[in-house]
Amino acid sequence: MTHAAVIGAGSWGTALARVLADKGESVRLWGRDAGHTDEIQHTRQNARYLPGVELPRSLEATSDLAYAVRGCDLVLIVVPTHTIRDIARKIRAIGVGSETPVVSASKGIENESLMLMSEVLEQELPESAHRLAYLSGPSFAKEVVRGLPAAIVMASQDGQLADELMVRFSSERMRCYANTDVVGVEMGGALKNVIAIAAGAVDGLELGHNARAAVITRGLAEIARAAMAKGGSALTIAGLAGMGDLVLTCTGEASRNRTVGYEMGKGRTLDDVLGSMNQVAEGVRTAKSARDLGIKLGIDLPISNEVYRVLYENKPVKQAVYDLMTRTLTREY
């Protein structure tokens, strides 16, 4: 039996752990909070994030990281992006086989270094650099654990590894596609969260479907611009990790990032909104990274910049909309 270690006991980590367990794998799901993992282990459900979802016996929850990864043939990291460097260091100290695939399902850009998760992991896990992969695409955890159809993408610079993992994560309810454009897949997964905050704000302000469509489309253009500036492909941004994930995150009511924007559009403060949420909205941190990365790369990211100003400079949401609508006119391409 194959043995996968899933690092991160939130909703998405638990959903992916169940996907692998349902395929007959032995899965160890790690979480920081011993009380939480003990509860998962004894009740056979993650009531904090996915209440009512029964977990198979082949899925074991633990707060012991060394135990979780010991003897595994796959490490799947599903933690908030600001913690991934620390987790990678701990995994390296424990010792994971150099041929063991390490997959990141975390979407974001590190604030301090402006590194993608791929760059962070390559730096912190040099022995595993040739076995790194990145999972992305439109996939709400609550729908995945219900067995509803979903399509995702697995990216690795090693095409053979991407193909192997594509098969490992695929089932009759989960279709996985392989991709070798790591940068494109990661940029799509990270920046769509920022655009989703803008789309949520448009809905909160009740500005209509036309405005939402404009944010999604011009947001896609920003993501493609940033991805290409980092060496990624615009074609990837037209796929699952780009347009697919962007549409889902901008329109789905289960989207945490859209919720942040929606509630701020209704007049609530950022602190108030975040204080009422029990999960991380990655777009809040990524908005700062996007703004800083745009400056570093010398590219224009107008929607992302306005999201940053609303979140970090207390700019009124309505003023941000006005400033976007009255920018200097230009050609679409």
Catalytic residue positions, numbered: 192
Burial 185-213 (b: 16+ CB within 10 A, else e): bbbbbbbbbbbbbbbbbbbbbebeeebbe
Identify the CA nearest to 270 among candidates 310, 298, 229, 227.
310
| DSSP secondary structure, 258-274, as one string | HHHHHHHHTT--HHHHH
Tell me whether residue 165 is exposed, middle or buried, using C-beta atoms within 10 angstroms of its C-beta: 0 to 12, 13 to 18, 19 or more: buried
Cα–Cα distance measured from residue 75 to residue 316, given in angstroms and rounded to the nearest whole number: 43
Give the torsion through C-alpha atoms of 165, 145, 181, 231, to 10 deg.
Answer: -150
- Nearest one of 124, 134, 137, 123 to 157, comparing CA atoms: 134
Can you tell me the distance from the alpha carbon of 31 to that of 29, in angstroms, rounded to the nearest whole number?
A: 7
Closest CA to 52 of 145, 148, 149, 150: 145
β-strand partners of 136: 153
Which residue type, as a one-letter code, is found at position 67?
Answer: Y
